[in-house]
Amino acid sequence: MPPLDEQQSAARHWFESLRDRICAAFEAIEREAGSDAAFAYTPWDRTDPSGEPGGGGVRGVMKGRVFEKVGVNVSTVGGTFEGEFAKSINGASEDPRFFATGISLVAHMANPHVPAVHMNTRFLVTTKRWFGGGADLNPPIPYAEDTADFHAAMKAACDAHPGVGDYPRFKKWADDYFWLPHRQVHRGVGGIFYDHLEGEFEPAFALTRDVGEAFLDIYPSLVRRRMDMPFDEADRARQLEWRGRYAEFNLVYDRGTLFGLKTGGNIDAILMSLPPLATWS
């Protein structure tokens, strides 16, 4: 993979530093619960279809008392898209060479009252350069207060960047994207989602950084709000059935899963989003 330019290096550094702070915050919650659970980190390397080194990443997974399974992955990869897949990527149909760096996070919680969550932000370079990503809340047992607070945090992040952040548009984008057509249900209670955020680098990068900061601020507070609530077998059954819907979306519709598989990413890292346990009726 060619040496990184200034923008690529800045984005990579941000995603890795955000990973470190999120993992520290999640481990702190485990300590509050009397658990010594910690993230286990597994580095991986990618070989491009050309045979040249194609970058790689680090998969981080923790299984604890509060976080039944949480994965926080970072990756920086590059090379050449293969065949027809290049035509599906913004700016790659003219030239299949690409660069991508980002962070991807999914948390499945032990207590059904604690919302699961997904967050992913990324920077891609083809013949164009753009940021994409967002965060969405996925509670098996929704609470209006949690939903409102999560959306308020995402809205504030967007509103701090007029001209780049467009909360109403990004919210609708998430509602439309995280939808299971075969079941006619949403995957969760939404959040924001954006893609192909082109134009000047710094405004889009600043928004992406603030989305990460907003997530780091709001999600741990929601976990602490619900993690000690009592639950019964019916609550757990509801959680496991909901997780089945989550798995269906990620395996059938999620573009990030497809991107990882099509670009030769680490299989365990790509499928990190799947829950440790799930049920189907």
Residues 6+ away with beta carbon under 8 Å from 32: 224
Asked if 46 and 56 count as a contact pair (C-beta separation under 8 A), the reply is: yes
* Residue the block writes with tokens 């989305």: 211
Hey, what are 132's tokens?
A: 């994409």
- For the chain, how big is the Rg over CA atoms in Å? 18
Catalytic residue (one of 118, 151, 161, 182): 118
- Cα 34 off chain centre by: 27
SS (H, E, C) the chain: CCCCCHHHHHHHHHHHHHHHHHHHHHHHHHHHCCCCCCCEEEEEEEECCCCCEEEEEEEEEECCCCEEEEEEEEEEEEEECCHHHHHHCCCCCCCCEEEEEEEEEEEEECCCCCCEEEEEEEEEECCCEEEEEEEEEECCCCCHHHHHHHHHHHHHHHHCCCCCCCHHHHHHHHHHHCEECCCCEECCCEEEEEEEECCCHHHHHHHHHHHHHHHHHHHHHHHHHHCCCCCCHHHHHHHHHHHHHHHHHHHHCCHHHHHHHHCCCCHHHHHHHCCCCCCCC
Is 118 considered catalytic here?
A: yes
Positions annotated as catalytic residues are 118
